[in-house]
Amino acid sequence: MTTTLDEWRAHARTAQETDRQVRRLYHLAYRTAPIGRILTNPNATADRVAYATTRIPRASAAVARILTRPGVAEHLETPYALSFLTTAERALTAPSTQLLKTANTARAAAAAASENSDDLRCVLFGDIEDRCRYLVDAAHHGWTRHEHAASKTVLDLAARWRLSPDARPADANQPPVPAHIAQEAARRAEIRARCTAGIRCTRTTCLAYGAVRTHDGTGQGPFLCPGCIPAVNAEHAARGLAPTLQAVPGGVPAHARYSVTLYNGSGPGRRTVTCTTPQEAQFTAETVRPFNNTGYTIHVTTTP
Ligand SMILES: [Zn+2]
């Protein structure tokens, strides 16, 4: 059998085109691999998860089209190129992705519940988010049997509370909650109730709620209840200090903001949260615990 020059040229052109398509396929699959890794990151946000879950199927569709080109499916480099895409495609349907979606839905629902002073949902959804993210992280080392069961439990709980990604608001028939969640929600409701009296007196022998803002002649003094101001001044006098604390006349102006600084009592680190009411400030101080040993101070900030 002889090959004419024209035939030989046509073969060469086809082979060249196949190589070009395989290179396209490789680049596409290679670029998709890091997008798949978004779905194994326990801290992935809703936006990032949505990006990954949209981009990966698009890449799969594009790759499927390239695979129909002559010679591409049979090409020696193709299986290696496809392995990058396969990992991302697997991530798409892995339990971690469902957990991440649930974590992000729970986070948004907990924030909404916090706005509505709904302690039970706030605690429950916060707990669901934490459990989901923990399991996504644990998946890096492969799940134990216990973790497989924990994943099913938390996703079932989330579904009962309509926290699946296409969630609707929960109806009036409240599904049961784990006992520790009910306890934590009750504790939070108790704190909320105490905080309706306002900011706590900073005098350690008092700590009553409903303290007023003081000043010491040069600047902002601590929050104290009216009865504690003369007592603290007397303590100052006994130590040879000038008794200068007074309640700020007129109290805190309506447009003022409360700045709650949460600090680490046993190491570096602090966080500041701005609140609009004294109740919210005190509630934040007692419920937001970013450190194992969280302490707090509350200041009034007046913005012009
Ligand atoms: Zn007091």
pLDDT 10s digits, 4-28: 888 999 999 989 999 999 999 999 9
Q: Report pLDDT for 148.
A: 97
CB 40 within 8 Å of CB 139: yes
Judge if pTM exceeds 0.75. Answer: yes
Ligand 1 centre from 247 Cα, in Å?
12
Q: Report pLDDT for 137.
A: 97
Q: Report pLDDT for 281.
A: 96
Q: Report pLDDT for 164.
A: 62
Ligand 1 centre from 179 Cα, in Å?
35
Ligand 1 centre from 212 Cα, in Å?
9
